Each structure stands twice: as structure tokens, then as C-alpha cells.
């Protein structure tokens, strides 16, 4: 059964949710009903054909770890527009992995439909009945034993089933379907290309591979040519096949739900989505959210981690940052911006700054100056980012947010680190207004709230050389190596640290100023008025490797 729901049509691009009912195999452990459905975000020209098989090309993307389909929406829309301008009828599909069926986005969807962001907080934090529904609570890791089966093999099988249902002819897929992914999704795309599907390799059913700040080749450390190192590592990674048993027995965690009370868990993602709902519906209104949140647990830790200047402030909760005056958009920026939020590069985006000089540099958890110490610079940049972070200092001023395209304007406020480094040296690359809209997207969201840790374990096993157990079908790496491919990398991402080891192809394209998550969400046009470069490079790759006869006249 296939259904399609149009979500929006903007600037000639139509977004829809495509849903297939593809139940888990009989005998699968008990699981939520929604896990028997597979969904993907379909991005296409508004005047394009309804039948995806009639498009000139389809680019299918897999999100990174802890990420959902909406995380790649900006890149997908920009790529479709670029290809349309070049005369190519293109679609981009972003796959929502099966574990997204565990989530409950009712509070976000109802709040957006009713135009009242308070409903989201009533639903998730006050136990209120909203839209006839009551929130059942965030699931604990102990309830999620079935996620032990949601590994690489499950993802590849699900992806293949969707592709076959959407474009039945494998030869048509081989001519026009490109496959890629961001972060973990790139590794999964590479696994698909090397996978054996009943005697027909995956690489014979796609036209090329796309790596977004990741790899799609499965031996980046070249272990196969190093017997002394490769064989022991491959043997060691085979032990990862025991992980599902340990997960089902409760010996090791199954999902990110285990991170109760901190960043990266389902409640933190719901909180960010609820704040994004406010930032979408009432961006410039003074926020009352800080006073609506509980003063303990995940919400308190996320807020404190995003505002505390020092370890002392974080541990004591003094001063009380709940008394800050911020617009809803500024609050979202405070939680997710690369110049304000918790000091972790992989969790933040280059989406602007607080529009005020009333800020002070943060030393929590590490000061920016630590990155200047001998031997620490590369590691610091990879883990904590390339620019200083700041906390608001005034409890009287109403803080607004300065979006990506205004950060280097002449009237931008002065924000300097202790060593005199400014917050923004070059323009930012992500629009917080667009980010707010996709974070408040509801069922197809930016995050994978209950991310199965089996996904990461299997990815590590694959890269370590394991080809046994559920990974036995990875048999065609030599064939997949001949596919056209492109690597589009973040110049300020942690992946820079790995580049010195020769992990990435020599022709990888590096984009200055892009953090890891920025690669998926760059704004068009850029702050300098130019085109978003990653989408432009991606469109060029697809157009160059698409047979000319494939392009509709």
C-alpha cells in the first residue's frame, strides 16, 4: 500500500510524504504499529510528473546518525532547483529509517495546525490532552529491545524495498538513480552499493554515489591491503554481531534513549522541536518558554548547558538564566547556534548570532583559547568547533537573533573572545528561519529521536572489515568502486581531523565554514548573494553523470 500526502509547495518545489506499508518480518519482537511503515520525503518540481519513474533523475539520500528526513530538506530543495534551471527534471528522496516510527510528534503537529506553540509544551510537559490525545511519555531504553534488530541489514533491505516499489525497473534505476547520504547515511549508501540482492549487486541498480561529509567506500583505512592490521581488526569486529543479543537482554543500551537527562535523548529533541514551533509561529515575540519548562531533568540541563559561561554556573545554576529576555527565534539560536549553544561542533549549526554586544565569552566546557595550545588545535576544532561561543549577560535587554545573512553587516554587534577573535569572521551558512520551519516539521522531522545504537555498531563493523553474520551480503566492493562518486565535505567539520589519514578521496571537495550538520542545510542564496555551493556541486555531479538521452526534452 502506497500513500502520498503533499506537505507544501514553495517557489516551484513540492514536498510530500510518501508512505509504504512494509511490515517487519513475522516473528519480529513486539514493536509500535508505526514501525511497520516506511516513509520518505519526496522533493520535486511542482510541475514535474507524478510518476517518479518519469523524472530524468532521482537522488536518494540517507540521513546521518540521530537524524531524520527533514535534516536534508534544504539541500534537497536547492538541488532540485539547480537541476531544474539546467533543464533536468529531478527528484530528491530522503529516507526516514524505520525507527522513526517510535516517535510521537502529535504535540508539534497540533501546535502548528492551531497556530499556538503553547500546545506543544502543554502536550509534552503538562500532561494536557491536546487535539484529543494525551502524551504517553518518552520511552525508556528498556522498552526498546526490538531496536536491536534495526541495524545495517534492516536499513539496506528497507531502502531496497522502497526503491523497487517506486521505480520497479532495475535497469531504469541503474541509469537515473543516484544514492548517497550524510555522515552515517553515506556508509549505509556505500553498503547498499556493495550489497548482493539475490545475485544482482546494488551498484548495478544505481547510477552513482554521493558522500556528504562522510565516506561511501567501505575500506577508508585500506585495511585489505594491510594483512597484519586488517585481519585482526576484522576478527575483532565480528564480535559486534553479538551486540543484538546483549541488547535484548538489557546488558547494553539499544538506543539514544539511554541518555536520559541530557543532550541527544528523545526529550531533548522534542524540546528543540517545540521551541522551533514557537520560533516559526512567533519568531519576534518575547518568549515565555523558559518559565514554562521544568526546573529539573533534560530541559534544565539543556538550558543550562546552552547558557552557562563557566563550570561553576553550570553546576550551581547561578545566575538563573530562566530570567533572560529572548525572542523565540533567539531562544532557538541559543540552543542550536554554533556561537552560543553547548560547545560541541557536531550538535550545532552556523545559523547566526545573538543580535547584541551584551554577551561574554564562554569557558564551559572548554575555553576557545584551549584550541591554541600545541597539539590540541586540530582535536579542539574537530570536537568543539572553529569559532568562539558566547552567553548573554543582560537580564534587562530583550535579545533578538541575527540570521546568517546579516552577521557580517556593518551594523553587526561586536562580539570578541578573550583573545580578540570575533564571533563571525565570514558569513554564516544556515538560515535559522528555515531551520525553525524544518525542526517544526512534525512526523517527518530533523531528528531520529530513538536512534538505534545497532546502526552505529554495524557501521563500525563494516569499516573494520567485518563481512560475516548480517553483513555477509557485502560482496561487491570492487564493483561499487567503479561507480561515479562525489565527496562534498565540511571545511570546519570534525572530518577535517580524519583527512590527514587519507580517509577521503583526493578529489573530495571541501567547503570553508561548513560544520558537519551545515553540509545538509546550507541556505540559498548565501550571505554574499552567491548560490549555495554544496547543492550547486551536487547538481553538477548528477547532471554530468546522467546520460544525455535520459534528460527529457
With CA atoms as reference, report the closest residue to 15 among 24, 5, 23, 25.
5
pLDDT in tens, 412-453: 999 999 888 888 767 799 999 999 999 999 999 999 999 999
CA distance 396 to 319: 14
> Half-sphere exposure of residue 241, counting CA atoms within 13 Å on the CB side?
16
Q: Are residues 265 and 398 in the same domain?
A: yes
- Residue 553: the pLDDT is 44
pLDDT in tens, 108-128: 999 999 999 999 999 999 999
How much is the average pLDDT of 91-110? 98
Q: Are residues 388 and 481 in the same domain?
A: no
Q: Are residues 242 and 380 in the same domain?
A: no
The highest-confidence range among 90-104, 262-276, 302-316, 400-414, by mean pLDDT, is 90-104
Looking at 439, 463, 492, which one is the last position of a domain?
439
Q: Are residues 191 and 165 in the same domain?
A: yes
Give, in order, the Cα–Cα distances in Å from 277 to each of 156, 319, 449.
33, 27, 17
**Terminal Cα-to-Cα distance of the chain (whole angstroms):** 32
- Residue 409: the pLDDT is 87
| 371 vs 524, higher pLDDT | 524
In the block, which residue shows the cell 567503479?
Answer: 482
Q: Are residues 53 and 181 in the same domain?
A: yes
CA distance 328 to 305: 18
Q: Is residue 61 part of a domain?
A: yes
Residues paired with residue 58 on neighbouring β-strands, in sequence order: 91, 177
DSSP-derived letter for residue 288 is -
Q: Is residue 114 part of a domain?
A: no
CATH number, position 225: 3.40.50.1820
CA distance 474 to 92: 26
Q: Are residues 184 and 47 in the same domain?
A: yes
The highest-confidence range among 241-255, 266-280, 538-552, by mean pLDDT, is 266-280
pLDDT surpassing 50 at residue 83: yes
pLDDT surpassing 90 at residue 49: yes
pLDDT surpassing 90 at residue 137: yes
Instruction: Please report which confidence band the pLDDT of residue 147 belongs to, taking 50, 70 and 90 as the band edges.
Output: very high
Instruction: Please report which confidence band the pLDDT of residue 385 belongs to, taking 50, 70 and 90 as the band edges.
Output: confident
CB contact at 8 A, 89 and 546: no
* The C-alpha cell that represents 544 in the structure block: 554530468
Looking at 439, 472, 504, which one is the last position of a domain?
439
Q: Are residues 491 and 372 in the same domain?
A: no
Q: Is residue 552 part of a domain?
A: no
Q: Is residue 345 part of a domain?
A: yes
pLDDT in tens, 339-365: 998 766 677 899 999 999 999 999 988
Q: Is residue 111 part of a domain?
A: no
How many residues would you count in the chain? Answer: 553
pLDDT in tens, 258-303: 887 677 899 999 999 999 999 999 999 999 999 989 988 899 999 9
DSSP-derived letter for residue 344 is -
Q: Is residue 281 part of a domain?
A: yes
Contacts of 88 (CB under 8 A, 6+ apart): 56, 57, 539, 542, 543, 546, 551
The highest-confidence range among 241-245, 461-465, 519-523, by mean pLDDT, is 519-523
How much is the average pLDDT of 382-387? 77
550: buried, middle or exposed (CB in 10 Å: 19+, 13-18, 0-12)? middle
Q: Over the range 410-421, which residues count as b (16 or more CB within 10 Å of their CB) and which as e?
A: eebeebebeeeb
Q: Is residue 134 part of a domain?
A: no
Q: Is residue 251 part of a domain?
A: no
Q: Are residues 311 and 412 in the same domain?
A: yes
Q: Are residues 431 and 473 in the same domain?
A: no
- The model carries a pTM of 0.95
pLDDT in tens, 2-43: 999 999 999 999 999 999 999 999 999 999 999 999 999 999
pLDDT in tens, 152-164: 999 999 999 999 9
| 376 vs 78, higher pLDDT | 78
CA distance 74 to 185: 16
Q: Strand 390-392 and strand 177-182: pairing?
A: unpaired
Q: Are residues 401 and 480 in the same domain?
A: no
Structural domain range at position 285: 258-439
Looking at 415, 439, 463, which one is the last position of a domain?
439
CB contact at 8 A, 459 and 452: no
How much is the average pLDDT of 368-373? 84
With CA atoms as reference, report the closest residue to 111 among 86, 92, 93, 128.
128
CA distance 543 to 452: 35
CB contact at 8 A, 271 and 306: no
| 425 vs 207, higher pLDDT | 207
Q: Are residues 347 and 467 in the same domain?
A: no
Instruction: Please report which confidence band the pLDDT of residue 378 belongs to, taking 50, 70 and 90 as the band edges.
Output: confident
CA distance 238 to 458: 10
Domains in the chain: how many in total? 2
- Residue 549: the pLDDT is 52
What is the phi/psi pair of residue 75, to 5°?
-65, -40
Q: Mean pLDDT in the chain? A: 92
Q: Are residues 230 and 287 in the same domain?
A: no
pLDDT in tens, 51-72: 999 999 999 999 999 999 999 9
Amino acid at each position: 500500500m502506497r500513500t502520498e500526502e503533499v506537505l507544501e509547495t514553495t517557489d516551484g518545489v513540492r514536498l510530500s510524504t510518501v508512505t509504504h506499508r512494509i511490515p517487519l518480518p513475522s516473528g519480529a519482537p513486539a514493536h509500535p504499529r508505526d514501525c511497520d511503515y516506511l516513509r520518505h520525503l519526496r522533493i520535486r518540481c511542482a510541475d514535474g510528473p507524478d510518476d517518479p519513474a518519469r523524472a530524468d533523475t532521482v537522488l536518494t539520500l540517507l540521513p546521518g546518525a540521530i537524524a531524520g528526513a527533514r535534516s536534508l530538506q534544504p539541500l534537497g530543495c536547492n538541488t532540485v532547483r539547480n537541476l531544474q534551471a539546467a533543464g533536468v527534471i529531478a527528484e530528491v528522496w530522503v529516507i526516514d529509517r524505520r525507527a522513526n516510527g517510535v516517535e510521537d510528534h502529535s504535540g508539534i503537529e497540533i501546535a502548528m495546525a492551531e497556530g499556538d506553540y503553547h500546545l506543544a509544551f502543554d502536550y509534552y510537559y503538562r500532561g494536557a490532552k491536546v487535539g484529543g490525545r494525551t502524551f504517553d511519555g518518552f520511552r525508556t531504553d528498556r522498552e526498546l529491545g526490538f531496536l536491536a534488530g534495526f541495524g545495517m541489514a534492516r536499513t539496506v533491505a528497507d531502502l531496497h524495498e522502497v526503491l523497487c516499489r517506486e521505480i520497479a525497473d532495475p535497469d531504469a534505476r541503474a541509469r537515473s538513480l543516484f544514492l548517497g547520504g550524510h555522515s552515517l547515511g553515506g556508509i549505509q549508501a556505500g553498503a547498499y552499493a556493495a550489497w548482493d540482492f539475490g545475485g544482482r549487486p546494488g551498484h548495478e541498480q544505481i547510477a552513482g554515489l554521493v558522500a556528504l561529509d562522510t565516506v561511501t567506500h567501505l575500506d577508508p583505512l585500506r585495511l585489505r591491503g594491510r594483512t597484519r592490521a586488517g585481519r585482526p581488526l576484522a576478527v575483532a569486529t565480528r564480535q559486534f554481531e553479538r551486540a543484538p543479543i546483549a541488547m535484548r537482554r538489557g546488558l547494553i543500551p539499544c538506543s539514544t534513549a539511554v541518555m536520559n537527562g541530557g543532550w541527544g535523548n528523545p526529550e531533548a529533541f522534542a524540546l528543540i522541536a517545540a521551541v522551533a514551533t514557537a520560533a516559526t509561529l512567533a519568531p519576534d515575540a518575547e518568549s515565555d518558554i523558559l518559565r514554562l519548562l521544568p526546573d529539573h531533568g533534560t530541559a534544565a540541563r539543556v538550558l543550562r548547558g546552552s547558557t552557562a559561561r563557566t563550570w561553576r554556573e553550570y553546576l550551581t545554576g547561578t545566575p538563573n538564566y530562566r530570567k533572560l529576555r529572548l525572542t523565540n527565534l533567539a531562544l532557538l539560536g541559543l540552543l542550536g547556534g554554533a556561537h552560543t549553544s553547548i560547545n560541541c561542533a557536531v550538535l550545532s549549526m552556523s545559523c547566526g548570532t545573538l543580535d547584541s554586544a551584551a554577551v561574554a565569552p564562554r569557558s564551559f566546557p572548554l575555553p576557545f583559547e584551549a584550541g591554541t595550545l600545541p597539539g590540541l588545535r586540530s582535536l579542539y576544532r574537530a570536537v568543539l568547533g572553529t569559532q568562539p561561543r558566547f552567553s548573554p549577560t543582560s537580564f534587562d535587554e530583550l535579545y533578538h537573533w541575527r540570521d546568517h545573512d546579516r552577521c557580517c553587516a556593518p551594523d553587526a554587534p561586536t562580539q570578541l573572545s578573550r583573545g580578540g577573535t570575533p564571533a563571525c569572521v565570514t558569513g554564516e551558512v544556515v538560515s535559522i528561519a528555515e531551520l525553525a520551519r524544518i525542526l517544526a516539521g512534525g512526523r517527518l522531522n530533523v531528528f531520529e529521536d530513538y536512534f538505534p545504537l545497532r546502526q552505529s555498531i554495524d557501521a563500525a563493523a563494516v569499516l573494520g572489515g567485518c563481512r560475516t553474520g548480517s553483513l555477509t551480503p557485502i560482496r561487491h566492493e570492487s564493483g561499487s568502486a567503479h561507480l561515479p562518486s562525489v565527496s562534498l565535505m565540511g571545511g570546519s567539520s570534525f572530518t577535517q581531523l580524519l583527512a590527514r589519514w587519507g580517509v577521503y578521496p583526493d578529489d573530495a571537495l571541501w567547503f570553508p565554514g561548513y560544520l558537519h550538520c551545515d553540509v545538509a542545510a546550507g541556505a540559498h542564496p548565501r550571505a554574499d548573494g552567491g548560490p549555495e555551493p554544496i547543492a550547486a556541486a551536487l547538481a553538477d555531479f548528477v547532471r554530468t553523470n546522467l546520460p544525455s538521452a535520459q534528460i527529457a526534452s
